[in-house]
Chain A
Amino acid sequence: TDRRTFCLFLVPCPALQCVGEENCVDSRTVYISHKEPPPGTEAFIQQRFPDNRIVSSKYTFWNFIPKNMFEQFRRVANFYFLVIFLVQLIIDTPTSPITSGLPLFFVITVTAIKQGYEDWLRHKADNTINQCPVHVVQHGRKVREQSHKLRVGDVVLVEENEIFPCDLILLSSSRDDGTCFVTTASLDGESSHKTYYAVQDTKAYKTEEEVSSIHATIECEQPQPDLYKFVGRINIYMNNEPVARYCPNFNWPVIVLPSAVAIYTGMETKMALNYQSKSQKRSAVEKSMNAYLVVYLCILISKAIINTALKYLWQADPNRDEPWYNERTEAERQRAFTDFLAFMVLFNYIIPVSMYVTVEMQKFLGSYFIMWDDEMFDEELQEGAVVNTSDLNEELGQVEYVFTDKTGTLTENNMEFIECCVDGHVMPGSDSIDMIDTSPGPGARVSLASEREELFFRALCLCHTVQVKEEETVDGIKHGIHQGKSSSFYISSSPDEVALVEGMKRLGFTYLRQKDGHMEIINRDDEVERFEVLEVLTFDSVRRRMSIIVRSNTGSELYLFCKGADSSIFPRVISGKVDQVKARVEHNAVEGLRTLCVAYRPLSPEQYQQVSHLLSGAKLALQDRDKQLAEAYDRIERDLILLGATAVEDRLQEKAADTIESLHKAGMKVWVLTGDKMETAAATCYASKLFRRSTQILELTTKRTEEQSLHDVLFDLSRTVLRHYGGMTRDASLSDDCTDFGLIIDGATLSSVMRPNQQGSSSGNYKELFLDICRNCSAVLCCRMAPLQKAQIVKMIKASEEHPITLAIGDGANDVSMILEAHVGIGIMGKEGRQAVRNSDYAIPKFKHLKKMLLVHGHYYYIRVSELVQYFFYKNVVFIFPQFLYQFFCGFSQQPLYDTAYLTLYNISFTSLPILLYSLIEQHINTDILKKDPSLYKDIAKNSLLRWPSFIYWTVLGVYDAIVMFFGAYFLFDNTTFTSNGQMFGNWTFGTLVFTVLVFTVTFKLALDTHYWTWINHFVIWGSLLFFVVFSLLWGGIIWPFLNYQRMYYVFMQMLSSGPAWLSIILLITACLLPDVVKKVIWRALWPTTTERIQVGSDLNGQI
């Protein structure tokens, strides 16, 4: 049980960079145990490598404040407020610097505390890693060291179940054959145990003394992020003679075991390099927000300009400028041209300082509701939804195109062996096995075709990368399907292979294990057969096949077994019952089964010599090793004899069809992008209701383009589609019963469609034409796609003229590119590793959770954020516009209408909490209804709540409210008293009256918009009004000793002691709210949206 568990911590790394010029060489040379090579061997360049310290934190104790400040002030909004603050400090402005300084300080502090806390957590995590103990072999002794002190070239001793401290090369293992088993779950998510081999020439060095006697250097590349690539060469000096050996092209440059040598350390480990900071995605809402901000900035500037101009006009009369009662000081006379800035300062509150903070808090806190959702929790995986970026919550409510992977996303990626076809004879794989055994017919057939058949079974038993796990403990991460039944089960990174080996077991051939370079299988007669593994030609997605070369122990014949996709096997086959197998493969593909073909080639010893020569030549190459290997494989895997084909079923995920149907109803277009072949993929699409029976399928495949030119096919299709839609009225096209179109396109055709300007100008239009067709299809299936093509498609749709919002969902590493490309990337916690999850913006356990994610969470967040944004602009217009109007009555002197405390606290305390809370818990419609009726999603499509008309409506409403408030107060104050003792009120009472109406109106407006009143809403809304009143009473109730003015003293209370003030407050609030209520009610009655209809409906139901 030499199982080693490997786990490294993912470390963010800004970018791969050369540290200093001298290090920028193509390769590095590592001296094992820091022993220099014998003199005269090679020019010796001492390279400096970083230590093994992992740094994921951004700040240190010393640079936190300057660095954090710098980063925060790089944001436009913060910088703007800093400038305003500085202007206030420098020139004589109407409001004290506190009014903008305090909110800014608040905002900056909150952000800094949050970031500081996060960085502290990172420091803690870093320290845990950096200080974890590592055993290093020094001078033949085992020494304990802290992980971060590890240097490149150190020989590391890793015990069982330990975590690798850095990237290592395996020198030897406690096992005689120099193997060790490694889990790479934290890197690529594959939890299977991979076998790694020690360097052949060092595997004999076992004890510490022996290991430290190794005298060798390793030449290898500079660190690079590709997990699956490592090219290096080890030079071992025996008696000072270099013996060149190749270092096998490890999947993973990493080793284990008693002794291994550190290759890449610290920030140069593959893991660190792989944590690339993703490019920032911005949501449509954020873009609207920024556009509005620009509008408001323009409004602000024009307000300031208008007032400045009017001020100079007004001041032209010196008696107005400086009447005898109000003269300037000398200093003030000399100061000129500050008026514009002063007006800017006076009106600057129109740009909502706290909006960004509130939006950020809303997103951050709001994302917890996604993580907390127990409907999106998967019992089996013990995982719920993961939010990697909370910036995109609202974008989930805007999705128009969904690009989904098939395997593992739509389907379970849980393979079941269904049947195999040997030489044209079909053998069912599972349930009917007993029948086969008992019936004489097949039995007879078995004996007839036994040679071929057994070869077929042997091929499947041998040609794979499955490992046997002999353990009874149920490991949460195993891939075996075979729970409990036996003490061993199969694990592999490819579920197909497990299914095949399992299937073979049921058909009588059991793969036992791999031992000492031999694979052991038990045949039908319960005899153990041993095959020596000579070469493994590993699987890759370009070749789409793998091969193995074995020598039978009994007959010492040499075989090459090859297994792969039909398209990659058939062209290489020279004999066998190709037609029958092909027919069966096609039949199975239509059924939605995954098919693989199996072929073999007997090798003579001479041929093997040749093969082995080819391979070792390619493997030793330091340059273009991959290319040379591919060429070698190509030359080896030919002249095959077809044995048969297998069929494996990949069942649809639970509720996948229901989910797709809901997405369709919600107006989203669902595209399936898969690497599978067309027939299989199409079958899955039918099963998942992506295509219905009524769907008219348009094909754009290589098969068709072979017959007609691409040009003709495209025009044909577009004519079909356009004729269909052209012939109908707009309304009819919305109804359900009209036939919809489904398009199938394959990778090859797609690339020719996308190819730019191949034959002059005409082909440039293909893309447009293709997009036209796609736009009119409700479902599109793209098969035979390379990972990069997936991203290309997403990019193409993104760039089309409507700029739709795209979502990509997938579970495998091949989906990462499209996940990164799409507006929203969703990862499924599937069986193909965690790459997709790691690169996604959101991750969910199962495809079915997408429904709730989009229809419920996405919808809510969109509603919430859009209200948040509109409301913020609204409340600041209402806030500032009266100040603007007041300038016309105070001689454009920049006299603020409200007291400093009100100016400062309006945004940060009087009106901040209700909207934040609204944006966290508002539910305009119940969750269940949203799920039941996906068409509600269409109501918010295309950023409908943040389009210019609604923005203008809110702004106009704000201006109206401001006018009502200001002139209401104006006429009330107009040259009369409104107290019963004849005393007069001054300008601060005027401002306080407006401000009181303002705070109440703005809060009530939000209350009217709230559809979901929990106790928290009541608490916060009434609480914040109460806070305003209490604060005002307090603020005016005391002569504040630290203030140099007491202008608010008793102003609020005096105002409340007057009956007409109360009456006018009530009147003005009513008058402000009236138009909005009327508008809402009339619109709802005359032009109700679906949402509104449902709201009323559910309301009535509730009453009944």
Chain B
Amino acid sequence: MMASSYKDEDGHISVSGTGAGAGSLPSKKPENTAFKQQRLPAWQPVLTAGTVLPAFFIIGLIFIPIGIGLYVTSNNIKEFEIDYTGLDPSSPCFNCSQNFSWNSTKPCTCSIPFYLEQPYESNVFMYYGLSNFYQNHRRYVKSRDDSQLNGNEESLRKPSKECEPYARHDNRPIAPCGAIANSMFNDTLELFYSDPNGTKTQIPLTATGIAWWTDKHVKFRNPGGNNDNLTAAFQGTTKPINWRRPAYELDSDPENNGFINEDFIVWMRTAALPTFRKLYRIIQRRNTMVPTLPRGNYTLEVVYNYPVRSFDGRKRMIFSTISWMGGKNPFLGIAYITVGSVCFLLGVILLFIHHKYDNRNNNPDISSN
């Protein structure tokens, strides 16, 4: 390399010095430091059957209990799912799904009766699920304007071009712009409990606490700051084409209206996979004595607004209880048990190998030393 050629030239300069040169030259002897001589003190581990063995057994012994714990936890979680897409003619929502039109002013409703075999204790989380819906499509994912959603006035008037073709409508900027917002899930789900004696009571659903706290309080902000008059703040914009109501009419509660509407925020967090569920409502537990959802007959009343038939999609409603590890997912527990067992098994195999081979290999060395 070039650097060394300077060395060369330097060398010549010193050679050209005549007479008493050699003695007065500073020694070019390299420094005897541990780093330069590659003799830094070091820990030199070697992976052998002997050293790895304990690790394998330890991993096995830790992973298997964790796995069993996870599996049991997952199994204790109750989950109930209803597909209300209405593809089957016998389904109550068949008519709604067949007669869907964007222009219809009259909402189509259908009600699905179902029976819960087990009572649901503690808080119950109500999700809606969509299948074959590509929220993770590149064109879709990027079709939003975070700056607009953060309350930026300029972006409100002039949405980012990422939002195209959902940026402007009728020469007015769309707020919120983009494909994600435009396709927000707008079915309304209501739950009724039918007493054994025949009375139907609506179960109260909590619509807050379903979005990330940071999203609701930092990332999403209404234009105009804390201005109470949202309608004025959205002045000059238009609602997304597919929406039935403008953003400022999403909810009557001002803390849950506009861009900080939690249904909207939940929808705006694009799902990772084409089959996904999103948190819709929470059924709070009110009385410690009574299960949140007792065993019995229920009716799910759906205002059917959201079309999925065109792309072979499915709509579901899910109840789930939640443990510390989230919803029902046996995968993690099974995976832990599997990996733990494999480690344990390998540990046994290595133990065998270690006894049979390692000693043999080491013997000559030890004797020679």
In the assembled complex, the Cα of A1082 lies from the Cα of B329 at a distance in Å of 35
Contact at A984–B365, with CB atoms within 8 Å? no
In the assembled complex, the Cα of A889 lies from the Cα of B276 at a distance in Å of 12
Contacts of A6 in B (CB 8 A): 16
Contact at A984–B279, with CB atoms within 8 Å? yes
Contacts of B22 in A (CB 8 A): 382, 474-477
In the assembled complex, A61 has its CB within 8 A of some CB on chain B:
no
Contact at A1044–B212, with CB atoms within 8 Å? no
Within 8 A of B (CB), among A357-403: 363-364, 367-369, 371-375, 377, 379, 382-384, 386-391
Contact at B324–A977, with CB atoms within 8 Å? no
Closest to A129 in B: B9
Within 8 A of B (CB), among A617-636: none
Contact at B362–A1100, with CB atoms within 8 Å? yes
Within 8 A of B (CB), among A995-1045: 1008, 1011-1017, 1039, 1044-1045
In the assembled complex, B140 has its CB within 8 A of some CB on chain A:
yes
Within 8 A of A (CB), among B159-199: 160, 162, 164-166, 179, 182-183
Closest to A969 in B: B272
Contacts of B138 in A (CB 8 A): 94, 890, 893-896
Within 8 A of A (CB), among B32-60: 32, 36-49, 52, 59
Contacts of B37 in A (CB 8 A): 372-375
Contacts of A1077 in B (CB 8 A): 47, 52
In the assembled complex, B255 has its CB within 8 A of some CB on chain A:
no
In the assembled complex, B289 has its CB within 8 A of some CB on chain A:
no
Comparing B108-116, B229-237, B292-300, B339-347, the segment that makes contact with chain A is B339-347
Contact at B2–A891, with CB atoms within 8 Å? no
Contact at A1059–B325, with CB atoms within 8 Å? yes
In the assembled complex, B119 has its CB within 8 A of some CB on chain A:
no
Other-chain residue from A323, A976, A1088 in contact with B311 (beta carbon distance below 8 A): A323
Contacts of B253 in A (CB 8 A): none
Known contacts A387-B4, A893-B139, A977-B326; is A1063 also within 8 Å of B332 by CB? Answer: yes
In the assembled complex, A927 has its CB within 8 A of some CB on chain B:
yes
Contact at B19–A1044, with CB atoms within 8 Å? no
Contact at A329–B165, with CB atoms within 8 Å? yes
Contact at A474–B23, with CB atoms within 8 Å? yes
Known contacts A9-B12, A1016-B40; is A983 also within 8 Å of B211 by CB? Answer: yes
In the assembled complex, the Cα of A80 lies from the Cα of B138 at a distance in Å of 25
Contacts of B365 in A (CB 8 A): 1093-1094, 1096-1097, 1100
Contact at B137–A983, with CB atoms within 8 Å? no
In the assembled complex, the Cα of A367 lies from the Cα of B127 at a distance in Å of 62
Comparing A217-225, A293-301, A985-993, the segment that makes contact with chain B is A985-993
Contacts of B23 in A (CB 8 A): 474, 476
In the assembled complex, A1101 has its CB within 8 A of some CB on chain B:
yes
In the assembled complex, A974 has its CB within 8 A of some CB on chain B:
yes
Contact at A1045–B270, with CB atoms within 8 Å? no
In the assembled complex, A719 has its CB within 8 A of some CB on chain B:
no
Closest to A973 in B: B272
In the assembled complex, the Cα of A94 lies from the Cα of B142 at a distance in Å of 10
Contact at A326–B139, with CB atoms within 8 Å? yes
Closest to A319 in B: B311
1/0 contact string of B115-148 vs chain A (CB within 8 Å): 0000000010101010001111111111111110
In the assembled complex, B335 has its CB within 8 A of some CB on chain A:
yes
In the assembled complex, B361 has its CB within 8 A of some CB on chain A:
yes
Other-chain residue from B2, B273, B339 in contact with A118 (beta carbon distance below 8 A): B2
In the assembled complex, A151 has its CB within 8 A of some CB on chain B:
no
Q: Min CB distance, B270 to chain A, in Å?
A: 5
Contact at B30–A374, with CB atoms within 8 Å? yes
Contact at A921–B40, with CB atoms within 8 Å? yes
In the assembled complex, the Cα of A890 lies from the Cα of B138 at a distance in Å of 8
In the assembled complex, B250 has its CB within 8 A of some CB on chain A:
no
Most interface-central of B133, B335, B346 (chain A CB within 10 A): B335
Most interface-central of A183, A364, A1082 (chain B CB within 10 A): A1082
Contact at A367–B1, with CB atoms within 8 Å? yes
Known contacts A118-B2, A185-B12, A384-B28; is A325 also within 8 Å of B182 by CB? Answer: yes
Q: Min CB distance, B189 to chain A, in Å?
A: 16
Contact at B353–A1085, with CB atoms within 8 Å? yes
Other-chain residue from B137, B212, B266, B335 in contact with A890 (beta carbon distance below 8 A): B137
In the assembled complex, B158 has its CB within 8 A of some CB on chain A:
no
Contacts of B41 in A (CB 8 A): 1014
In the assembled complex, the Cα of A360 lies from the Cα of B248 at a distance in Å of 59
Contacts of A1008 in B (CB 8 A): 47
Q: Min CB distance, B30 to chain A, in Å?
A: 4
In the assembled complex, A43 has its CB within 8 A of some CB on chain B:
no
Contact at A1084–B278, with CB atoms within 8 Å? no
In the assembled complex, A923 has its CB within 8 A of some CB on chain B:
yes
Known contacts A118-B2, A1039-B218, A1047-B146; is A1102 also within 8 Å of B44 by CB? Answer: yes
Contact at A987–B136, with CB atoms within 8 Å? yes
Known contacts A374-B32, A893-B138, A984-B269; is A319 also within 8 Å of B312 by CB? Answer: yes
Other-chain residue from A7, A986, A1082 in contact with B12 (beta carbon distance below 8 A): A7
In the assembled complex, the Cα of A252 lies from the Cα of B21 at a distance in Å of 25
Contacts of B214 in A (CB 8 A): 1049-1050, 1054
Contacts of B46 in A (CB 8 A): 1011, 1095-1096, 1099
In the assembled complex, the Cα of A981 lies from the Cα of B324 at a distance in Å of 8
Contact at B179–A325, with CB atoms within 8 Å? yes
In the assembled complex, the Cα of A979 lies from the Cα of B323 at a distance in Å of 8
In the assembled complex, the Cα of A326 lies from the Cα of B178 at a distance in Å of 9
In the assembled complex, B210 has its CB within 8 A of some CB on chain A:
yes
In the assembled complex, B7 has its CB within 8 A of some CB on chain A:
yes
In the assembled complex, the Cα of A1096 lies from the Cα of B45 at a distance in Å of 9
Closest to A124 in B: B6
In the assembled complex, the Cα of A891 lies from the Cα of B136 at a distance in Å of 8
Other-chain residue from B1, B48, B59 in contact with A1085 (beta carbon distance below 8 A): B48
In the assembled complex, A552 has its CB within 8 A of some CB on chain B:
no
Contact at B42–A1012, with CB atoms within 8 Å? yes
In the assembled complex, the Cα of A1085 lies from the Cα of B357 at a distance in Å of 6
Contact at A975–B332, with CB atoms within 8 Å? no
Known contacts A328-B165, A895-B138, A1097-B362; is A838 also within 8 Å of B211 by CB? Answer: no
In the assembled complex, the Cα of A379 lies from the Cα of B19 at a distance in Å of 19
In the assembled complex, the Cα of A1063 lies from the Cα of B69 at a distance in Å of 12
In the assembled complex, A1046 has its CB within 8 A of some CB on chain B:
yes
Contacts of B71 in A (CB 8 A): none
In the assembled complex, A767 has its CB within 8 A of some CB on chain B:
no
Contact at B150–A1082, with CB atoms within 8 Å? no
Within 8 A of B (CB), among A162-208: 163, 183, 185-186, 191
Other-chain residue from A382, A893, A1039 in contact with B134 (beta carbon distance below 8 A): A893
In the assembled complex, B95 has its CB within 8 A of some CB on chain A:
no
Contact at B326–A889, with CB atoms within 8 Å? no
Closest to B135 in A: A987
Other than A1046-B150, A1081-B353, A1102-B44, give 18 A-B pairs with Cβ distance below 8 A: A185-B16, A367-B1, A377-B28, A384-B28, A473-B19, A476-B21, A477-B22, A895-B137, A921-B38, A927-B38, A980-B323, A980-B325, A987-B135, A1014-B40, A1081-B49, A1084-B47, A1085-B49, A1085-B353
* Interface residue ranges, A against B (CB under 8 Å): 3, 5-7, 9-10, 94, 118, 121-122, 125, 161, 163, 183, 185-186, 191, 319-320, 323-332, 363-364, 367-369, 371-375, 377, 379, 382-384, 386-391, 473-477, 838, 860, 889-891, 893-896, 921, 923, 926-927, 968, 970-987, 989-991, 1008, 1011-1017, 1039, 1044-1047, 1049-1050, 1054, 1058-1060, 1063-1064, 1067, 1070-1071, 1074, 1077-1078, 1080-1082, 1084-1086, 1088, 1093-1102
Query: Which 10 pairs show the lowest CB-CB distances between chains A and B?
Result: A476-B22, A1097-B365, A325-B183, A7-B16, A990-B272, A978-B326, A982-B125, A893-B138, A372-B36, A895-B138
Query: What are 23 A-B interface contacts by the 8 Å CB criterion?
Result: A122-B2, A324-B311, A329-B165, A369-B38, A371-B4, A373-B37, A891-B134, A927-B39, A974-B273, A974-B329, A976-B328, A982-B322, A983-B266, A984-B278, A1050-B212, A1063-B336, A1067-B335, A1071-B339, A1082-B350, A1088-B361, A1096-B362, A1096-B365, A1101-B369
